[in-house]
Amino acid sequence: MVASKLQKLGKQGLVALAIVTTMGGIKAASNFVNTADAVVTQPQAASSPDVQDASAFLVCSEAANWQRPDPDQQQKQLATDERYSTLLQDKDFQQLADQFWQHDVLSFTTYGLSARMEPINLSGLWSVADEVWANCYSHDEGSAINEGSLAETWLMHHRVVDLQWQEDHYVMVVEPDSQGMQVVQFARREAEAELPLTVMTSQGAIVEHHSADW
């Protein structure tokens, strides 16, 4: 399987990322407060009778000028990485890569170095990887995600406006943009294996998201 192939590759890369994560502890704090370069937002008041509660969310990393690379640039980048250079013609790998490449919103309920490396690289976020690792996982966020108390959503070419807990799922309101990415973290109110999340624009258009845990 592709996952087992990837787990055998890039051990040096994982060690390097672990070092970056540890050093990043200087830059971040816990519990959604005083996190460097992050934005803590209290969403707008509920406007629908079906909405039960507004939820605070943290934009722990943001790159306002980021743009997804073109496909040729993406392929060249992957070809230079030993984790992927031998897998680019593998159909199973291509199906995995397409899930990250074709979605502008990714959601997570688990955390791990490799489990973040693939989404970062395959979605085209490799150019901002250092900032994501340092700003979002440098304290105890990874443990909180794995313990089920914290959820995470990546937005590409969208920005978060509001987050609500509605009946039995989260409703995230976003605005499309021609550029930019955000990593959004928020406290969980459920214990589902796959995050019960609906993403929509303020005009009500649904934005399809991909559950990126693997």
User: Residue 177 in contact with residue 140, Cβ under 8 Å?
Assistant: no
Mean predicted lDDT score pLDDT of the chain: 82
pLDDT band at 2 (very low <50, low <70, confident <90, very high): low
In the prediction, which pLDDT does 123 show? 97
B/e letters for 94-109, b = 16+ CB within 10 Å, e = fewer, are eebbebbeebbbbbbb
pLDDT greater at residue 165 or residue 40: 165
Residues 43, 158: contact at Cβ < 8 Å? no
- The answer to whether the beta carbons of residues 161 and 175 sit under 8 Å apart is yes
Structure tokens at 87: 């897998």
pLDDT above 50 for 51 = no
Q: Are 156 and 210 in contact (CB under 8 A)?
A: no
What percent of the chain clears pLDDT 90, i.e. is strictly above it? 69
The pLDDT value given to residue 190: 96
In the prediction, which pLDDT does 138 show? 87
* d(C-alpha 22, C-alpha 143), whole Å: 14
**The pLDDT value given to residue 5:** 54
pLDDT in tens, 53-98: 778 999 999 999 999 999 999 999 999 999 898 999 999 999 999 9
**Position 98, amino acid:** D
With 70 as the cut, is the pLDDT of residue 149 above it? Answer: yes
Phi, psi of 31 (to 5 degrees): 60, 30
The CA distance from 211 to 82, in Å, is 25
* Banded pLDDT at 7 (limits 50, 70, 90): low
